[in-house]
Amino acid sequence: MKQTKPKYRQIIDAAVEVIAENGYHSSQVSKIAKRAGVADGTIYLYFKNKEDILVSLFQEKMGVFIERIESATTSRQTPSEKLRVLVETHFEQLSEDHHLAVVTQLELRQSNKMLRMKINSVLKKYLDVIDEIVEEGIREEVFRDNINRKLVRQLIFGTIDEVVTNWVMKEERYDITKQAKEVHEMIVEGLLRRP
């Protein structure tokens, strides 16, 4: 069956697979091309260079990833509920895409400083979502107002990231989505304003 997906997406999907399976350093352009079913040279019609594949990959995948989290946290929810949904959706998405989980948690981190800067700018949008929920929680007097917003964001993201990384390194042998509730409670526990 001939691939009919636009080549750009075809290549990105191939890259995720190849990197997840072979690791970042064993993922030659030619291997990605082969998996995508295109010639080596075709890669360069759609991407500036190898690094551009990785940046684009991250942008595409994280774009969808973050959008889903944004649309899952609707206006009717309380800030705490939003955080719960954020954790849940984060875990679910990685749970459903094994390759993506490996790539984002392990492989893409071994890229050079330049690439990681670009990756961070993509992550910025995710951090903004967290910031907004936290801000809302404080405004609505659900969260304590004596917290350092930036540190709280780092706690939330750092915790989620560490939990996911541990899960991936344990070769995803347990169901991470079942931890969402606990992780959420643990995080919120420290944020709630006491009467």
- Residue 194: CB minimum distance to its own copies, A: 8
25-64 binders of DNA (CB under 7 A): 26-30, 38-45, 49-51
Among 34, 116, 118, 125, binds its own copies (CB under 8 A): 116
- Residue type present at position 110: Q
Owner of token pair 């995508």: 36
Q: Quick one: tokens of 146?
A: 């004596």
The DSSP letter of residue 26 is: G
C-alpha to C-alpha distance for 100 and 94, rounded to whole angstroms: 7
Count the Cβ atoms, other than its own, within 10 Å of residue 22. 15
- In a 3-state reduction of DSSP, which class is residue 141? coil
Q: Would you count residue 120 as binding its own copies (CB under 8 A)?
A: yes
Q: Is residue 162 near its own copies by the rule CB under 8 A? A: yes
Which residues form the interface with DNA (CB under 7 A)? 7, 26-30, 38-45, 49-51
* Binding region for its own copies (CB under 8 A): 23-25, 106-107, 109-113, 116-117, 120, 144, 147-148, 151-152, 154-155, 157-163, 166, 169, 179, 182-183, 186-191, 194
